[in-house]
Each structure stands twice: as C-alpha cells, then as structure tokens.
Amino acid sequence: MDAFFVSVERILDPSLEGKPVIVGGDPHGRGVVAACSYEARRFGLHSAMPIRNAFRLCPQGIYLHGHGKEYGRFSRAVKRLLERYFPIVQQASIDEFYLDFTGCEKIYGEPAKFAEKLQNEIWDRFHLPSSIGIASNKTIAKIASDFKKPRGITFVPPGGEKDFLAPLPIEKIPGIGKATFPMLRSRGFSVVGDIAKASPDYLSALLGKFGTELWEKANGKGNDILVTEHERKSISKETTFDKDIISRTKIEEILFELVSKACQLLRNENWQTSTISIKLRYTDFVTLTRAKTIEPTDDDKVVFEVAKDLFEKSFTRRVGIRLIGIHLSKLNHYTEQCILFEDNDTIRKRMLRAVMKIRDKYGFDAIRIGKSETGSN
C-alpha cells in the first residue's frame, strides 16, 4: 500500500489531499515519522526520521498523531479482498502482503494484467493507492513493488532478476541498513550488480551469514514460500516522554499503563508470558534492560509487581528518564481448565477476561483496573 497511514488519514479527512502530511505526533516531541505523503517527501522527509528533523525541513507540513484502529480496519478489509482471489496470502506488515499467483494464470490470465485489475479494485473499493511487484520470489517482488511508486506495477520475468537488480542502488536490497550501507560503499559497492559480481566468500568474511544472503539476493535468488501463520514471540509497549521525568511515582504510573496494555494484548491472543523485561533510557541515552522469568501469567497485577521491582532496581541514578518500556516474551498458549470449585485466582482470571471483552468492544479506556489492584497503593 502506498503511504498507507497518510492514505487512510485522507479518507477520514479529504481536505488533506495534495498537502504535505506527516503521521507521527507532536513535531516538537521526541517521536519519529511513522509515514509521510509524497508531497512531504519532496522536502527530504522519510519514515523513521526524528520528527523534530522533519519539522525543520517541512514546517508547513500537517502533523498528525494518527488513527491506529482505522489503519487496522482498512488493512483487514484489504486482506479480505486479497483472500478472495489468492489461495495463499502472507501479511508481512499492516500495509504489505505477499500473494501466491501459482496456478492462477488459467483463472485470471497474465499476472501483469490481473495486477492492474486488482490495483483498480482496491482503489475503487477503499480509495487506497497501491503498488504491485511481480516476480519469482519474495525479495524481487518486494523490490519491484517499490520500483514505480505510487500506483506502479512492475513485472520481473523469470530469468530477468539479475538484469533488473544490477543498476539499482545497493540500499534497495532489504537488510542493507545504516551500519551495512557505509561499510559496503567504502569498499566500492554502489549498485547491486557490484555485489552480484563479488566473491561470496569475500562477502561472507565481511558480513558473516548476512554476506552470503546478500550475494544470493543480488543474484536474484530468494524465498518463494509464503508463511500464512506466525507464532508471536513477544509483546512490547514503550513510551518516550516529551520532557525527561525524574519522579519515581510518575514513571511507575506510566509503567502501570504500559503493563495494562501489554497484558490486554496477551489475553486477546490467549497467551501467557514467562519472561518480563523492562527498558529504561536516561537523559544521557544510557539504556538499561532488566528481565525476570516467572511462572506463566497474563495477570496485570503479577506482571506489574515484577516490572515495578525491576524498575526500582534499575532506577539508581540522579538523572531524568526519557523512555520506559515493558517487554513480554516466552509466550505460551493459555488453556482454561474445568475447575469444580472456584478459588480467588480462578475468579480473577474470569474477571480479567471480562475486562478484555469490554475493552475490545468499547475501547481500552472503557474500563480500568485500579492501580490499587496491583498492591502498589
């Protein structure tokens, strides 16, 4: 999907059409750009850049906090449409999908022709622009989908992968980031063809396992297996403060809120967590992480007590805090068992699931679990 968050915002507010729109929150805060319109990109803006930098480059832009629930709603609608046509659909992110066209030619005709039909249907139904890449594997298809944005269609025929990739800048290959890019450029790699011609042993010595993978990608090789179900490995919630905080009580209140939201996600997925971690970043950017493994739980009270203890052991400096986060891992499926006699734990588990259902229907703020429930007051 092209500039997906911005596209949804324009559906919600048509007056944003044609204007430089930036989704990411307060332009004077510490957040980053989540998405920006193509009008904003002309000023040098891009996703993941600090939002303060974006404001310096484009002070006339329209800065929005965004509507996360709406993004999810439109994403699910697009996926349902795709699943009508394709036997296998892999959702890679909220705005990106891989589709297996194998065997569909007899039904839909040539892939490029059908891609145009699909693109038009997504636009007609949802007023969402999209770009489509067609290739023999996921890596090439992803690169091709970015080739002619917005609303582009790029078909890379089988056997033409290397020729398609050769003139492209090396940063077009997924996985080449801020650390790898300057390292490769300093060694004379500027286009993908340079990597394809290099010795795989040299790249392996330079970048380890990723070097071998990079050589394969540059030579047009890639995975063509779509994965339709992912086991979620962790849940994280964190917040960066607009102003550094030194009040222990205030930080614990925010940590309590993050724990509540993370545990809500646990129960939505029918998970329990065994490892609880906190992340703490001081004013001077010194970052600490602390973790503890316990018996599996999805209870806000239990998780917060552990997180609070980890925080108290970590908050040892007379310096303000700029970021706090909670991370839940070692997730296991929760299985509710039939119990003849209810004890307090059983009653509490049912209460928490009732809270989950109310929040799912009416929003997270519809019902609150008091902080005194955690034993902190």
Coil/strand/helix, residue 189: coil
Dist CA 67 CA 11 (whole Å): 12
Q: Given 9, 17, 70, 96, which residue is catalytic?
A: 96
Report the chain's terminal Cα–Cα distance, integer Å.
47
Helix axis angle, 200-207 to 209-218, nearest 10° = 140
Dist CA 263 CA 373 (whole Å): 14
Dist CA 253 CA 372 (whole Å): 11
Cis peptide bond prior to 150, omega within 30° of 0 = yes
Dist CA 338 CA 284 (whole Å): 52
To the query of whether residue 96 is one of the catalytic residues in this protein, the response is yes
Q: Which two tokens mark 52?
A: 């303060």
Residues comprising the chain, all counted = 377
Dist CA 276 CA 328 (whole Å): 5
- If phi over 0 gives left and psi between -120 and 50 gives alpha, with beta otherwise, what is residue 313? alpha
Q: Which two tokens mark 199?
A: 């010795």
Residue among 350, 354, 355 at smallest CA distance from 339 = 350
Question: Which contacts of 352-360 are long-range, i.e. CB under 8 A and separated by 24 or more positions?
Answer: 352/263, 352/267, 352/298, 352/299, 352/300, 353/267, 356/264, 356/267, 356/268, 359/264, 360/268
Which positions are annotated as active-site residues?
96
